[in-house]
Amino acid sequence: MHYSDYFFFRMNGFGGILTVSLAGLFLPAPLLVAQAPSEPVDLLITRARVIDGTGGVLEGATLAISGERIETIHPGPTQLQATLTIDAEGKTVLPGLINAHVHLRPPGVVNEQTLTDFLVDGLTADLYDYLSHGVTTIKSAGDPAALLIQARRRLEQGELHGPRLFLTGPPLTGVDGHPAATLFKDNTWLRTRHTIELASEQEARKAVGRLAALGVDAIKLVYQGSSDEAAPYLFRPGVPLPKMSHLIMQAIIDESHRHQLLVTAHTNDLGDALAVLEAGCDGLEHGVSRARLRGTELGPLLKQHEASYVPTLSLYARRRPEVLETAMGNLKWLADQGVRIVVGTDGIPSAGASGPDTLRELELMVEAGMDPDQVIQAATRNAARHLGKLEEMGTVEEGKLADLIIVDGDPLADIAQLQAIEVVIKGGKVVVDHR
């Protein structure tokens, strides 16, 4: 079936297949044009190239949006009327981008007042920076829970202007583990709010329960370092890094699933990545960056558990360029095996870099050897699946949330065309217009 026929199938059901398959033989082309509904739609995007996030492309399509959702997708012109019409001739419509690993805590936070000041004032600019670069959904993968839940509520109620926000709350780690005794070793206030250090399985289960009761969307644990005092693991020269025991890690995963929460793990080494996946973890943050992958055990295990791999290449480009080549090689190795790759930058608010870092992540993925369509899926459908929200977002399909971007040119021909974002639509409303 031709791709354009697919959309008639979605509109008309099984009868639509018969109509389309017979149309070329017996019916004049004008009869294929959908009839106008009795009421105008809210937004009409016409003459668009549509990259739907599943690997499909439709040329010259019309998208009709009512309320916050995509009502219909037509393979050509229609007689529909709309409150607002955008002519997208020569442009590409694709799902809004999803950055599945960010932080919303800026440098310099030392107490509740400085964090509150940022959440009241500075956060607004950072959230708009994401939106203006086509990012309509973000996942905070490690920030103080209660204050971020307040920010999420303000976004949902329209008090803040920015992407949809999902969050894990503080990462769960071992006593003196990363990032408690590394990034926050000199900031006791932030250490006790940005991380939860665990010494037992009981503490682990209670911590997951408290985060679930607060209303987090997922759980993140840190499984990096050594749990054997006789075998120190150096985070950096002179900084040994202990990690939680295997039993505590298993308890976190089991308890998260009992609360119906997906759980992902910060790892850097192959052995740790394999261990958390075998324990049932739903995804890897950073994955493997300390050594090149050679064997084939990680890819099949990720696929077997339907787990995601978030490579955070832009993090290494910014702060650890010495491991960037290794991380890119490992990404290519896993992508070639069909692993679900997801976009995440591990970015923090930094003078307007949040949005550009997301687009840079996509470009680095292409430089690593992925093709542009794979990368677009990593930032749309795969990321939505990683969040457990694929039924609602991540692809251009009828009935889904109308989180869309309009780009001048074709990002399948050159991923850098995503820098030419003209319009950003979130929930059916134009929230950014660069035309």
Q: State the pLDDT confidence band at 17, using cuts at 50, 70 and 90.
A: very low
Whether residues 378 and 417 fall in one domain: no
Residue 188 forms part of a structural domain: yes
- Do residues 135 and 169 both lie within one domain? yes
Q: Are residues 87 and 73 in the same domain?
A: yes
Helix (H) or strand (E) holding 48, with range, is: strand 41-51
The tokens of 252 are what?
Answer: 């976190």
Query: CA–CA distance from 326 to each of 237, 305, 307, 311 (Å)?
Result: 20, 24, 21, 11
Is residue 14 domain-resident?
no
* DSSP tag of 222: E
Tell me, what's the pLDDT at 189? 86
Cβ atoms of residues 169 and 194 within 8 Å = no
Token pair, residue 326, equals 């290794």
Check whether residue 317 and residue 426 sit in a common domain.
Answer: no
Q: Average pLDDT in the 42-46 region?
A: 98
What is the percentage of the chain residues whose pLDDT exceeds 90? Answer: 74
The 10 Å CB-count burial string (b at 16+, else e) for 298-319 is: bbeebeebebbbbbbbbbbbbe
Q: Are residues 307 and 415 in the same domain?
A: no
Q: Return the percent helix, strand and coil in the chain, to nearest 5.
A: 40, 25, 40
Q: How far is CA 112 from CA 147, 190, 346, in A?
A: 10, 9, 22
Cα distance from N-terminal residue to C-terminal residue, the chain = 36
Please check whether residues 197 and 229 belong to one and the same domain.
yes
Looking up tokens 């492309």 gives 57
CATH of the domain at 46: 2.30.40.10
Mean pLDDT along residues 27-45: 61
Q: Is residue 24 in some structural domain? A: no
- The tens digit of pLDDT for each residue in 341-377 reads 999 999 888 756 889 999 999 999 999 999 999 999 9
For residue 339, what are its two tokens?
């692993």
Same-domain check for residues 382 and 411: no
pLDDT in tens, 116-126: 787 777 788 88
CA-angle at 180, arms to 174 and 181, nearest 5°: 95
Taking alpha carbons only, the member of 168, 172, 157, 149 closest to residue 103 is 168
d(CA 232, CA 242): 7
pLDDT of 32 higher than 80: no
CATH number at residue 247: 3.20.20.140
In the prediction, which pLDDT does 351 show?
Answer: 56
385-425 pLDDT, tens per residue? Answer: 999 999 999 999 999 999 999 999 999 999 999 999 999 99
The 10s digit of each residue's pLDDT in 57-73 is 999 999 999 999 999 99
Alpha helices in 92-200 (DSSP H): 112-117, 123-132, 145-156, 188-194
What is the mean predicted confidence (pLDDT) over 269-296?
95
Kind and range of the H or E run holding 167: strand 164-167
Strands 421-426 and 429-433: antiparallel
pLDDT band at 34 (very low <50, low <70, confident <90, very high): very low
Q: Name the residue range of residue 421's domain.
A: 33-95+399-433
- C-alpha distance from residue 109 to each of 63, 172, 176 (Å): 44, 20, 20
Please check whether residues 141 and 182 belong to one and the same domain.
yes
Q: Is 23 within the bounds of a domain?
A: no
Residue ranges of E strands in 255-295: 262-266, 283-285
Both 288 and 416 in a single domain? no
Considering the domain boundaries, does residue 309 fall inside one?
yes
Residue 136 lies in a domain: yes
Q: What does the alpha-carbon distance between residue 401 and residue 303 come to, in Å, rounded to a whole number?
A: 27
Q: Does a structural domain hold residue 140?
A: yes
Residue 296: per-residue pLDDT: 80
Q: Where does the pLDDT of residue 14 fall: very low under 50, low under 70, confident under 90, or very high at 90 and above?
A: very low
Q: Packing angle between helix 201-214 and helix 246-258, nearest 10 degrees?
A: 30
> Residue 125 — φ and ψ, nearest 5°?
-65, -40
Tell whether 412 and 338 lie within a shared domain.
no
pLDDT at residue 11 greater than cutoff 50: no
Same domain (yes/no): 403, 375: no
Number of domains composing the chain: 2
Residue 367 to residues 160, 342, 362, 414, 416: CA-CA distances in angstroms?
Answer: 35, 16, 9, 11, 11
Count of C-beta atoms within a 10 Å radius of residue 103 = 18
In a domain, 227, yes or no: yes
Shared domain check, 218 and 129: yes
The label of the residue with tokens 């694929």 reads 390
For residue 321, give every residue at least 6 positions away whose Cβ sits within 8 Å of its Cβ, in sequence order, or none.
none
pLDDT for residue 6: 35
- Among 10-24, 113-127, 249-263, 417-431, name the one with the lowest average pLDDT: 10-24
Query: Is cis: bond before 163, omega within 30 of 0?
Result: no
Q: Which of 7-16, 81-90, 148-157 has the lowest mean pLDDT?
A: 7-16
